[in-house]
Structure 1
């Protein structure tokens, strides 16, 4: 035997991230989940006023239908509190699996609901319940996928890899639009009886595929290290609100940029197909689909630029540019010129808005440390998104019964863009901060934990 005790083996190297696998899983899962979420928007604008509400008052039915679209956004802050807590306690992978299952189930059940003619006021009540479940699911989807991709990504490419989450969201919107185009083209009798149900019933396939994909994910390296070292926060929400409340408020304000998305995708669709303008609903769905197709290409390009020059400059281009372009797009709709609507829609939502939409996953996630990253992103974004969700209801009120006040709706949207820009401009630039130091403010927080020495016997 050796006279000297054997040296302890060196600590195992920390596991390496798998950025490509994490990004692809986030992309596919987000696309599938937001397919479910966005088909509701198209249906709320085009079908639900005549299916789930009293048809004797079309204007009121449309207003209430658009309000049910916003109900999911109202539920999202509550879901963020619960899901954010669980995600920082149990891990990102677990939340990503179960949010997808909840979304698929609630969307499928919408396709099974009785109509107003069949069940009276019970029909819209059940519709709202299902929409609330959709909102609870969406509250955790993007935050968990963002945390997963950010924590797997190389430090110098976090913006690029996290953009896959929002890229998947855009793909889900494209898929929802493409599925709804042939449905919207059906004769009214078929559309309002069985046709509208088809996109919702297809969500059962979405849920199964997404579940299988996300079950193969591995937990992120930084969360694994935190769990192994018992450094997972016991009360993430308490720690978040005590130590990071300012960043939560900043994310809330910045997240109002999502108003652009809801106005473009839902209210503008209602406005364009109203009697005041008279554009064809199928043609407008094609505008939405093509704009999202352009966004699929633009989002990763903007994100790569943010890895080079910083998050804030790119985000500000998207926020302030969208505040200008919303006037151009709604004016184009008011002219009734379909070519003009196409060009301005592609430039507005496909290119300009993508500069903000592709950057926020990294910008928000980098504000918080690992211990509260999912909670911080979820609570901040979902509270801001709640404002965006009801923007379509506010817009319907501003527009009035004659449907002529598009300028007022543009002002509302631009005001949200300005709020977002102020929040982003006053935040920290984080694109060069090492992943391990994200969200840490003091040297004591940044210093690695030293192992305890045991006294010699």
Structure 2
């Protein structure tokens, strides 16, 4: 007999809200750390270092969260594949939101000395650990309720959370960027972190109404869940796991070059005002969101793999022109650079959720897509601001940085060419109907 959850379909609106709102909050939390690392943490937590060393130390603290993400992906993926997607999504929200709030009340180096950067690193690890399990669960809570013909569109629900997180985090910092440097470094940078507690409460209210999809519920009813999902994943689909991880490098490599490194490079090297760069990046997120929608629709029509390949090709080609436009010092040119970069990310984001759902078996799918996404994010996101800073220090030119980002994107392009879709027996034997907007 089917369980209640397997016969009661949530509405499209409910799935969108739960997937999008929660992910937006998680990425807001994550991106305000990246913005603060670029604008304030070097001065506040590493004051005894030189300017370059302090920037590197701040970005290294930012990178620690990426190191924790694959671990979070593996652990949340394990229990998400064994227990369910919903419960893990609630837990990731609590962990990430709680760590973010505590960063907002953290004493600086001037107050407690070396304990300040150490506590910052610990909270960053907790934050990254929570984010590690977020994306996979948010994707699956939507795609597993959708028919195979609509998976990219439903998978895009969670993907909106990334640009919305960038948008809201930049809005939060833009609101305090008009402060004097003294006021901003004293208390202004804390405000975006403290506001996150309100968003977490909203996310918890929304996600408590969710339930797992029929596709996963049928596996549980047959007692067919994997005992050790990661072990089975590594044994049965090592090729797709490795290739999906490499394919996941390009989006964060391009994204974090813009939203994290450019805040330092644009202000200290090119000479832009902090508020100007934040405004330009904020404006580009509108295009990012629109591109995700378009790419998701096209993915369901022409195939998620094809669209992802198109996005990866553009990611290889754009870094050199992007830096060239920013280096002009003209706001219009920089906006064009960021808008195209947003389109590059949007194309891959619109295809990624549907593609990754299709290449992993449902029994260990949470583990597969989470680990692949987070390993790619660690390579493309954690290292890029650090390597970019070091490359500029060594060569005093943006060309080496652009070639580095293009090289990472080339790796993703080659990898996505090799990923293989699998047949999903559960979906084929009893294809779930597309949720109706009128059902609740």
| TM-score, shorter chain, exceeding 0.5 | yes
Matched, 1:421 2:410: no
Q: Give the corresponding residue for 1:212.
A: 205
Residue 353 of structure 1 deviates from its aligned partner by 2.2
1:273 to 267, 271, 295: 267
Structure 1 residues 253, 56: CA separation in 2 closer, same or farther (over 3 Å shift)?
closer
Q: Name the CA shift for 1:218/1:60 in 2 (closer, same or farther; >3 Å).
A: same
Give TM-score scaled by structure 2 length.
0.93
Summarize deviations over 1:247-270 as a string: whole Å, max 9, x none: 110111101112111111111221
For residue 273 of structure 1, give the secondary structure of its aligned residue in structure 2: helix
| 2-structure distance, mates of 1:297, 1:225 | 35
1:34 aligns with 2:24: no
Map of 1:314 onto structure 2: 307
Is 1:185 matched up with 2:178? yes
Equivalent pairs counted in the alignment come to: 428
Structure 1 gaps, min length 5: 1-8, 439-445, 449-457
- Is 1:282 the counterpart of 2:272? The answer is no
1:158-173 mapped onto 2 (5 Å cutoff):
158-173=151-166
Does residue 382 (structure 1) correspond to residue 374 (structure 2)? The answer is: yes
Q: CA shift at 1:369, angstroms?
A: 1.3
| Residue-by-residue CA offset, 1:272-323 (whole Å, 9 max, x unaligned) | 011x211111110111111112111110111100100111221111111022
1:202 equivalent in structure 2: 195
- Aligned equivalent of 1:259: 253
1:98 is aligned to 91
Q: Residues 304 and 129 of structure 1: is their aligned pair in 2 closer, same or farther, counting only changes over 3 Å?
A: same
Alpha-carbon contact 1:93-1:217 (below 8 Å) kept: yes
Query: Counting helix residues as a fraction of each chain, which structure ranks higher?
Result: 2
For the Cα contact (< 8 Å) 1:155–1:434, is it kept in 2?
no
Question: Is 1:361 the equivalent of 2:353?
Answer: yes
Q: Rg larger in 1 or in 2?
A: 1
Q: Output the CA distance in 1 between the equivalents of 2:372 and 2:424.
A: 22
Contact residue 5 and residue 212 of structure 2 kept, 8 A: no
Alignment-derived partner of residue 373 in structure 1: 365
What is the Cα-based RMSD across aligned positions, in Å? 2.1
Residue 130 (str. 1) matches residue 123 (str. 2): yes
Displacement of 1:16: 5.5
1:429 is displaced (CA, Å) by 5.2
Q: Which residue of 2 is the match for residue 18 of structure 1?
A: 10
Ranges in structure 2 where 5+ consecutive residues have no aligned partner:
432-440
How far apart in 2 are the matches of 1:182 and 1:382?
31
Q: 1:19 to 1:162 in 2, by over 3 A?
A: farther
Partner of 1:149: 142
> What secondary structure does 2:144 align onto?
helix
